[in-house]
Structure 1
Amino acid sequence: MSGRLKFESFRTEVGTPQIRLLGQMEIVDAVGFRVTLQLQCRKVLALLTVAAGRPLTTEQLVRRVWGDDAPLRAAQMVRSHLRVLRGAFGGDALFDRISAGYRIVPERCRVDAWMFRALLAEARQRLPDDAMGAIRAAEAALALWRDTDAMPDVVDVLVLRAEAAYLEELRCQAEETLGQAWLSSGRADLALPRLRSLVELHPERERFWLQLMVAEALSGRLVEAAGGTFRRARHHLVEETGLQSAGLEALQRALLDERAPEQLLALIALSNSAHA
């Protein structure tokens, strides 16, 4: 695989509409201007975007936007929103009207969430043989996020709330991939500040704790890793939940035995992403 990333940034490209879900929902038209849309209109667009080219009927859009509380004119309102979207994005440049309903045409737009997934997949593929390439891909993926939550303005729609939660999970997995890549590259000291922040933000995720312990050990802080950090991790992962964390116990033993770095990394790879 080439050393150059497939997606280096999310630059505005004239002629290509952009839909941004990784943060407050944003829409940029084909000439680079941000489009202001009413909330219900944004929900319709978000639903079509999340469907990723699969058609949705007017009835499906009505049900997903309003549920059981749809107004009598809901179908007419959806069609009106679609007309607004066509106008905002240059006629039929972004949407197809087919017998099965309405669909967004993936080839005619740029969606940050789709790019994020592609970059995460690339980072995973590059590990463990190309740690620096994995770092670049994971960092590029995480740089697409503009806020702590995905599309918070439209998550009262059940389908969109589920998609936002899924994107948040993938974001954590991207952080885990980045941490693993930093450790694999032999630059554990550079991973420490980020990992310390991550265990504070996500104390329930076992892999962040394991990565932090390994980063500390490989940075000359073995006593801290196998002592204080281990006890803090055990408090969050075991004592507060009543569950077991075999990966945590195994890693502490490996640290005390002064196992080789590749053995420590293998123990992290075997752990669960989220402690459940």
Structure 2
Amino acid sequence: MWFRVLGPLGVSVDWEPVSLGRNRQLTVLAVLLLEVNKTVSVGRLIEAVWSGCAPKTASEQIQTCVWRLRRAFVAAGAGSGLIETTASGYSLRLAADKIDTGVFETWVREARAIADAGDHREAIAVYRKALRLFRGPVLAEVDSPVVRAVAAKWDERMLSVLEDCVELELASGMDAHLVDELTALVEQHPLRERLRWQLMLALHRDDRRADALAVYRAGRAVMVDELGVEPGRKLQELHDRILNGEPPQRAVVATAAVRVPAQLLADAPDFVERPEHTDEIRRVLTADDTAGVRIVALLGRCGAGKSTLATHVAHQLRDRFPDGQLYAELGEAGIGDIACGFLRALGVSDARIPADPDERTAMYRSLLATRRVLVVLDDVVDAHQVRPLLPGGPGSAVLMTSRTTVTELAGVYPVEVGALTESEAVEMFTGIVGAHRALVEPEAMREILRLAGHLPLPVRAAAARLVARPHLSLRHLASRLRDPRRRLDEFSHGTLDIRASLKSATTGMPDAAKHMWYSLSTLPREGFDVYEASAGSARTVHESERLLDLLVDRRVVDIAGVDERGNVRYRLHELIALYAAELSRTQLSQPVRERRAA
């Protein structure tokens, strides 16, 4: 529902006007709209309708007017709660974007913030957009003195904002363009000295000195005749400068500096190249952009090094995206907050950032529509979360990481990131621990890497633990890791926490899927089929198959292949199975654990 006050009174739904009844109801509605979201007393409404000549039944008639307005709103599909009854009167409750006065003030604040940031051109555009909301004298058809007094304040408000806009336009060199508009405004408002000063300046800059002096003389005559005063000091000073032949100061166009964000995390100095992935990612992200935004999704289980890989490739491609690089870790973060951070990085002041999350993402996409920006989105939960953050133009590209399938996104190119090869794992481990330690105990090193599943996170954690403990031999660490009860502890060091990584993989997962996952940790490590999973979890085969699909999508269960009977075989990675079994001891009740153990 849309309410219009800045001109003839109007209410519409989907551009269809709403019938509002007779003059008395229009007056009541006009007062409520002019005092929107404030309580208007019954006495003030009576005064607005009858101007001191109210009948004895005035209160009842006001009540009837409000009832009819509510009925009209309900008939238009807006509900009956717009007009609230308060202890002393009535209040019309509207969001700022549902009434033209609210939108006007929002845009004026935005224009001022943009001007303060130095971008006069954009501020002028927003000012002019706000001023176009005025469609004529405010509520001219409502002749109530109460309404007319408030409407006059809005007419004054419009002129004040218009003068602010003209001030910026003069500062931006739009002098000749303004002369006709200012001439008409000065004729309509001969006593507004600021408008007259602006017209004189525009004429002077347009080399129309005589006309500028004539405008001053006409203004002085009006002020002396009607007010008995001379023009103000500012007007007199401009008159004297023009009279003395001083050349006009030409405007200097002000535009805001374009901010180029560089938000990428630092690249890992000991990164182990994975050419089977990096070459493919670079090829897709730098392809011809005529088909639209290029999107690459790095998919894989926890600890596979997706984030490090994404950061490394993003740094390699910085020159291909000269308008900047944006980075955000999504996880459970709100999309509105992410968009807010992106807008700030792109140079949008806090005053200009919309409060509504959808408006924020829309502004963000608009800003990227004509730019070449690389957007890196880490730890994406699902496609719904990332869709509003896709750029609005084909020049940009998106590189995201996710533990779940996001292939339903149109145009996404999936890259499955698995474990390191043995040689890559050795290179990473040796680069951190040092060849002088790693190569002395090669068998122990290979055992550590095997127990880590060649996954970058546990490999790095084990190496970092050894660096922190120079006295600890690789053989001793390998011995610790052989104990399944200690393995997760040994593969965690400081922020390199394998448990924290695994925990995030199950965030938001339905309880039924979690319970299924716990039960799978008791099945043979070499693999199982849906029938074994069903028996172990006490669920139907159909339900077990559905839950297994979800767990595979979350990368906490792997598909091992198909057996001779055509059944899909599943398995859990060793570390994932250990974590699931650990959780089952605290998350499942004793009877359930005993039943599954049997």
**TM-score (structure 1 length as normaliser):** 0.78
- Counterpart for residue 193 of structure 2: 206
Where do residues 41-80 of structure 1 align in structure 2 (5 Å cutoff)?
A: 41-80=25-64
Between 202-211 and 22-31, report the one with greater CA deviation: 22-31
- Counterpart for residue 152 of structure 1: 140
| Matched AA of 1:96 | E
Normalized per residue, the structure richer in helix is 1
Provide, for residues 78-129 of structure 1, a one-character-per-residue CA deviation record: whole Å limited to 9, x for no partner. Answer: 1111111111112424122233432111228722223223333433444463
- Counterpart for residue 159 of structure 2: 172
- Counterpart for residue 138 of structure 1: 127
Secondary structure in structure 1 of the residue aligned to 2:3: strand
Aligned-residue offset at 1:183: 0.5
Aligned-residue offset at 1:253: 2.3
- Counterpart for residue 106 of structure 1: 94
Provide, for residues 120-139 of structure 1, a one-character-per-residue CA deviation record: whole Å limited to 9, x for no partner. Answer: 34334444632212321221
| Residue segments in structure 1 that go unaligned for 5+ positions in a row | 1-16, 264-276
Secondary structure in structure 2 of the residue aligned to 1:154: coil
- Label 1:86 to 1:31 Cα distance change in 2 as closer, same or farther (>3 A): farther
Aligned-residue offset at 1:30: 6.5
The separation in 2 between residues aligned to 1:219 and 1:153, in whole angstroms, is: 40
The separation in 2 between residues aligned to 1:215 and 1:31, in whole angstroms, is: 39
- Label 1:137 to 1:229 Cα distance change in 2 as closer, same or farther (>3 A): same
Contact 1:21–1:113 under 8 Å retained in 2:
yes
- Counterpart for residue 237 of structure 1: 223
Work out the number of aligned pairs and report it. Answer: 244
Between 166-175 and 87-96, report the one with greater CA deviation: 87-96
Which consecutive segments of 4 or more residues in structure 1 shift more than 4 A? none
Secondary structure in structure 1 of the residue aligned to 2:153: helix
Contact 1:123–1:137 under 8 Å retained in 2:
yes
Contact 1:49–1:104 under 8 Å retained in 2:
yes
| Matched AA of 2:124 | I
| Residue segments in structure 2 that go unaligned for 5+ positions in a row | 253-598
Greater RCO structure (CA 8 Å; 6+ sep): 1
| Matched AA of 1:106 | L
The separation in 1 between residues aligned to 2:96 and 2:191, in whole angstroms, is: 39
The separation in 2 between residues aligned to 1:25 and 1:228, in whole angstroms, is: 39
| Matched AA of 1:66 | W
- Counterpart for residue 92 of structure 1: 80
The separation in 2 between residues aligned to 1:85 and 1:193, in whole angstroms, is: 43
- Counterpart for residue 120 of structure 1: 108
- Counterpart for residue 437 of structure 2: none
Secondary structure in structure 2 of the residue aligned to 1:186: coil
Aligned-residue offset at 1:31: 7.1
- Label 1:153 to 1:223 Cα distance change in 2 as closer, same or farther (>3 A): closer
Contact 1:94–1:109 under 8 Å retained in 2:
no
**TM-score (structure 2 length as normaliser):** 0.38
Q: 2:215 aligned with 1:253, yes or no?
A: no
The separation in 2 between residues aligned to 1:104 and 1:238, in whole angstroms, is: 45
User: Percent identity between the aligned chains?
Assistant: 27
- Label 1:121 to 1:254 Cα distance change in 2 as closer, same or farther (>3 A): farther
Q: 2:9 aligned with 1:25, yes or no?
A: yes
Aligned-residue offset at 1:170: 1.1
- Label 1:260 to 1:33 Cα distance change in 2 as closer, same or farther (>3 A): closer
* Root-mean-square deviation (Å): 2.5
The separation in 2 between residues aligned to 1:251 and 1:81, in whole angstroms, is: 54
Contact 1:63–1:70 under 8 Å retained in 2:
yes
- Counterpart for residue 11 of structure 1: none
- Label 1:234 to 1:73 Cα distance change in 2 as closer, same or farther (>3 A): same
